[in-house]
Structure 1
Amino acid sequence: MGHRLSKIATRTGDDGTTGLGDGSRVRKDDARVVAMGEVDELNSQIGVLLTEPLPADVHDALTAIQHDLFDLGGELCIPGHTVIGDAHLARLDGWLEHYNADLPPLKEFILPGGTRAAALAHVCRTVCRRAERAIVTLGAAQPLADASGAVASGAGAPRRYVNRLSDLLFVLSRVLNRAGGGQDVLWQPGRRA
């Protein structure tokens, strides 16, 4: 599982490089490190969302997602290593279907907001989209292995995972608005204050 840190202040990054899980060193602005950082920020934002009062099943799903994201960070940290696969994607798809089933169809765009938990879910969604863009950039520069170990251009399962996760976070924002007694904030085109 790569190198574990026993000492945090190593000073080895003072030169603008960082170590990957396989022991190699790269610049801190390398596409791989950027993608790892975006996934880490997403995981942190989900941690903030988890401090809110949430329905137990949503809390459990988000906690499982945090573990997935840590695994994804490990996958990104070790070139050629794979963790995220079809089972992870299927679980996201199941949650999407489950949580979307009871929501009214959208006829308008919605704005980020409503309850605090829903607004935080929207922040997580936008950070997730940024992580997705970083993973796409990484996949274009350095093809990643897929779950079978074969090299896949475009970042394969990691890209698909964050794409579906951003959809789930959008759906969960709607679920959390309802759970908190709120409702979707509908966009009003051309509205003047």
Structure 2
Amino acid sequence: MRVYTKTGDDGTTGRFLGGRVPKSDVLIEASGDVDEAIAVLGVVRAGCEDEALAETVLTLQRELFVVGADLATNPDHRDRLRPGVSLVTEQMVEALEDRIDRLVAEQPLRPVFVVPGSDLTSSRLDHARTVVRRSERHVVAAEEAGHVVSPAVLRYLNRLSDLLFVLARNAAGDVEPPSHD
């Protein structure tokens, strides 16, 4: 099997279930950000000593593949998407919300802005959070540009960045310095 197809040599990329768009399209920017978030979360997981956190991160990586498929789908064929496999669902969003609520109940957030960087795991989670936020901004821009975007994708990315924030704070504990004295 060849990795290269040469079909993108003209500056376009294929959509899931058919069609092509320019590689410079804002929708492709959003998809690239999702891909980057998957990779950054891989760095989190590779350096994570907490098995439960590593399993959570793996779940999030897999769910981001669903987000990527949902975003990349030819809008004429969205009816062929499979919930939780290639279509982001409200249940996926609700699961993130439940996880956030449980974590905050276990370790309440400090009422100050904190400076990230107290340890590698929390720093890597914060990095992933910022990539997800960028993806969310690009998804909004794609929708504004006329692309079909599932509202569940936007909600998922928004909640995911919230969850990554909470996970980073939990990983860091109470040692992160406040943003001001």
Higher helix share: 2
Shift of 1:172: 0.4
Output the CA distance in 1 between the equivalents of 2:45 and 2:180: 30
Q: Give the letter aligned to residue 91 of structure 1.
A: A
What is the TM-score with the length of structure 2 in the denominator? 0.88
State percent identity of aligned pairs: 32
Q: Give the letter aligned to residue 168 of structure 1.
A: L
Give yes or no for the alignment of 1:14 onto 2:9: yes
- Whether the 8 Å CA contact 1:113–1:185 is kept in 2: the answer is no
- Which runs of at least 4 in structure 1 moved beyond 6 Å after TM superposition? none
156-165 or 97-106, which deviates more: 97-106
Residue aligning to 2:84: none
> For 1:38-91, what per-residue CA distance to the aligned partner results, in whole angstroms no more than 9, with x for missing partners?
110011110110011242222221111111100111111113335101110011
Give yes or no for the alignment of 1:87 onto 2:91: yes
103-112 or 116-125, which deviates more: 103-112
> For 1:91-143, what per-residue CA distance to the aligned partner results, in whole angstroms no more than 9, with x for missing partners?
10011011111224422211111111000011011111000001111112234
Give yes or no for the alignment of 1:126 onto 2:143: no
Equivalent of 1:61 in 35, 56, 59: 56
Q: Give the letter aligned to residue 180 of structure 2.
A: Q
Q: Identify which of structures 1 and 2 has the higher relative contact order when contacts are C-alpha pairs closer than 8 Å and 6+ apart.
A: 2
Q: Runs of 5+ in structure 1 lacking a partner?
A: 1-5, 147-155
Output the CA distance in 2 between the equivalents of 1:9 and 1:135: 27
Number of residues of Structure 1 aligned to a counterpart in Structure 2: 172
Shift of 1:13: 1.2
Residue aligning to 2:102: 98
Q: Runs of 5+ in structure 2 lacking a partner?
A: 82-86
Alignment of 1:1-193 (within 5 A): 6-80=1-75, 81=78, 83-144=87-148, 146=150, 156-178=151-173, 183-188=175-180
Name the Cα RMSD after superposition. Answer: 1.6
Query: Are the structure 2 counterparts of residues 105 and 145 from structure 1 closer, same or farther at C-alpha, using a change threshold of 3 Å?
Result: closer
- Whether the 8 Å CA contact 2:122–2:169 is kept in 1: the answer is yes
